[in-house]
Structure 1
Amino acid sequence: MSHPSLFGILYFPYGLMVGVPAVMLGWLATRAGLPVSAAATIVGTAFAPAAFKFLWAPIGDLTLTRKRWYVLANAVCAAVFFGMCTIPMSAATLPLITTLVLIGAVAATFIAFALQGLLLHNCDPSQIGRAAGFYQTGNMMGQTLGGGAALYLVRHSPTPAVGGAVLAAAVLACNLPLLALREPPRVGTGTLGARAREVWSELRTMLSQRDGRLALLLAFLPIGTGNAQFLFSAVASEWKASADFVSLVLGLVAGIAIALGTLGGGWFTDRVPHRRAYALACAAQGVLALVLLFSPREPWAFAVLTACYTATLGSCVAAITGMSLALAKGGAASTKVSLFLGVNTLGALGLVKGAGWAHDLWGTPGMLGTEVVTVALALVVFAVISRRVLT
Structure 2
Amino acid sequence: MSSLSASRSTHPVVFLFLIVPFGMMAGFLGVAVAYLLSQAGVPTEQVAALVALSYVPHTWKFLWAPVADTTLTRKRWYLIGAVLSAIGIYATGALPPTTENIPLLSVIVVVSNVASTLLGMAVESLMAYGTSEEAKGRAAGWFQAGNLGGSGLGGGAGLWMAQHLASSWMAGAVLAGVTLLCCIGLLFAFEPKVEHAVHGIRDRILDVLRDLWAVARSRTGYLGLLICFLPIGTGAASNLWSAIAGDWHASADAVAAVNGALSGLVSAGGCVVGGYLCDRLDRKFGYALFGVVMAACAVGMAAAPRTQEMYVVFVMLYA
Q: Which category describes the TM-score, using the shorter chain as reference length?
A: 0.7 to 0.9
1:29 aligns with 2:21: no
Aligned to 1:318: none
Change (3 A) 1:134 1:201: same
| Structure-2 change in CA distance of 1:68 and 1:279 (3 Å) | same
Say how many residue pairs are matched: 309
* 1:175-186 mapped onto 2 (5 Å cutoff): 175-186=183-194
Match of 2:265 in 1: 256
1:291-328, Cα deviation, whole Å (9 max, x unpaired): 44565554433322221222xxxxxxxxxxxxxxxxxx
Alignment-derived partner of residue 252 in structure 2: 242
| Superposition map of 1:1-391 within 5 A | 1-34=9-42, 36-186=44-194, 187-230=196-239, 232-233=241-242, 236=245, 239-243=249-253, 245-293=254-302, 298-310=307-319
What letter is aligned with 1:22? G
Q: CA deviation at 1:193?
A: 2.6
Partner of 1:339: none
- Counterpart Cα distance in 1 of 2:153 and 2:197: 40
| CA separation of 1:268 and 1:65: change in aligned 2, threshold 3 A | same
**Structure 1 residue 258 displacement after superposition:** 0.4
RMSD: 2.6
Unaligned runs of 5+ in 1: 311-391
Under a length normalisation based on structure 2, what TM-score does the superposition of the two structures give?
A: 0.85
Per-residue CA distance 1:16-44 (angstroms, 9 max, x = gap): 12111221123223323445444433332
Q: Which amino acid aligns with 1:271?
A: R
Alignment CA distance shift 1:190-1:94 (3 Å): closer
CA distance 1:261–1:46, shift in 2 (3 Å): farther
Residues 113 and 152 (structure 1), Cα distance of their counterparts in 2 relative to 1, 3 Å cut: same
Give the match for residue 5 of structure 2: none
Preserved CA contact (<8 Å) 1:27 1:233 = no
CA contact (8 A) 1:11 1:135 kept: yes
Q: For 2:222 and 2:192, locate their aligned partners in 1 and report how far apart those are by CA, in whole Å.
A: 27
* Alpha-carbon contact 1:236-1:302 (below 8 Å) kept: yes
Q: Which residue of 2 aligns with 1:358?
A: none
Query: Does the C-alpha gap of structure 1 residues 141 and 235 become closer, same or farther in structure 2, counting only changes over 3 Å?
Result: same
Identity %: 34
Conserved 8 A contact 1:23-1:233: no
| Residue 241 (structure 1) shift | 2.3
Residues 42 and 280 from structure 1, CA distance in 2 versus in 1: closer, same or farther, beyond 3 angstroms?
Answer: farther
Measured against aligned partners, the alpha-carbon deviations of 1:138-162 in whole angstroms (never above 9, x if no partner) come to 1111122331011011111111122
Distance 1:67 1:95, change over 3 A: same
Tell me the SS of whatever aligns to 2:259: helix
Cα distance, 1:215 vs structure 2: 1.7
Does the Cα contact within 8 Å between 1:134 and 1:262 map onto a contact in 2?
yes
Aligned to 1:341: none
CA distance in 2 between partners of 1:274 and 1:122 (Å): 20
